Amino acid sequence: MKNRKFVIFAGLICLALMVALLPLGSACGPEEAKTLKIGITTPSSGKAAEKGAPMGNANRDAIEYVNAELGGAAGYPIELMWLDNGYDAAKVVTNVNRFMDEGCLMFATASSAMMSASMEIANRAEFPGLASFTAPSLYRPPKHIYGQMPDYGDDALAFASYFMDNIWQESRKPKFALHLLNNPTGYGARDAFKAKADELGIEIISVDEHAATTTSEMESLTRIKASNPDVLYISSTPAPTAVIIKNAYDLGLYPGVTIGLGHAGITKALVDIAGADIVEGVYGVFPTVNWGDDVPGMAKMTEYCRNLHPEDEGNMDYITSWAQSLIMVEILRVAVGNVGYDALAKGDVDAWRALETQGIQKLKDYDVGGLHGPVNYTAGDNRLSKSVRVFQIQNGVITPISGWVEAPVVKYEDFDWFGK
């Protein structure tokens, strides 16, 4: 009996010693980690997966880099809630509601179409959003949605200006035929030409729309060819853009006309889908640097891409979303510096307001490793980067042929037709 009491007593002493040696707080369970939570949704499956998959990969790769090598934002790990939306409006709305319910501080989409579907609920809730690819309708007039880079309207105006200054040689107005994806990707270009065609000195002779799932545009292109255009401008994603260019090639419309693309379409995926010989000589506008350019952020991005998603190397959409994630981290860093972690911790409307006013709207001269134009917030202009370059596909390679061009703000809401 005495031996049994001794064993119990000794055991209690050992237990007491073990508890005493535990780190403070461990006796009541681990202390809850302090993180900064963000939501990102990309169309990594579905009819725009050729763009969305590399973009989602880049978002996650960049956050992994930030957490592993930079210690998060202002010393706080980034907790990324990533959800695929399948390029489906209902899914993206569900995703954004989930981001809000689960305490994300802000959210991001890859596409203008998906942001267009979710912006009404986000603006009503004052939940700040950042879209990589944008249309003027997302933030004119400015509310709580921001554009990472210039929009599809900016692309159209930049290409038209380049064409007039460097390609067009005749005294008459050039005739532009527009072929536009039937969502904000196309409508942004439509609105820009509608607002500025006369000022640019160009004539819009036709506007055709297509779906993301189109398999043939021979009928529309036959009509376009009959109108004898000088330019075919396409604002769309890579798969339908490839269909249109291949149809134009088969009809003998191209080569012949000048083809210009908005930045949603001119990616490595386009070259892969259409074939390098078909798209040779096509022009396009894109707001990032190219792979291999000598900028500070290139080496680290390339390292992570090769290690985690080597199939995406060379795809400019990967650059876009890597930079998007870095911008979100910078927003968090600035906000924590201005208001402290506790003001953001709950992930509620007060936290969203703090992040927007003391994070997004305090951005100044952030260079994103040189991967695209500098990031600044300017009152009345929710585009955070405002510079684009013109590219041309040469020997199968998307090659820059212009320097950086700053896209001026266009106040579309001043036109009575905008949004109707």
Amino acid at the residue 83: L
Q: What is the pLDDT of residue 18?
A: 44
Q: What is the pLDDT of residue 260?
A: 98
3-state secondary structure 253-312: CCCCCEEEECCCCCCHHHHHHHCHHHHCCCEEEECECCCCCCCCCHHHHHHHHHHHCHHH
For the chain, domains (ranges, CATH) are 36-150+293-385 (3.40.50.2300), 153-286+407-414 (3.40.50.2300)
Q: What is the pLDDT of residue 28?
A: 36
* Close Cβ partners of 235 (under 8 Å, ≥ 6 residues apart): 152, 155, 156, 178, 179, 180, 181, 185, 186, 188, 189, 190, 261, 262, 264, 265
Given a cut of 70, the residues of the chain with pLDDT beneath it are 1-32
Q: What is the pLDDT of residue 32?
A: 64
Q: What is the pLDDT of residue 420?
A: 81
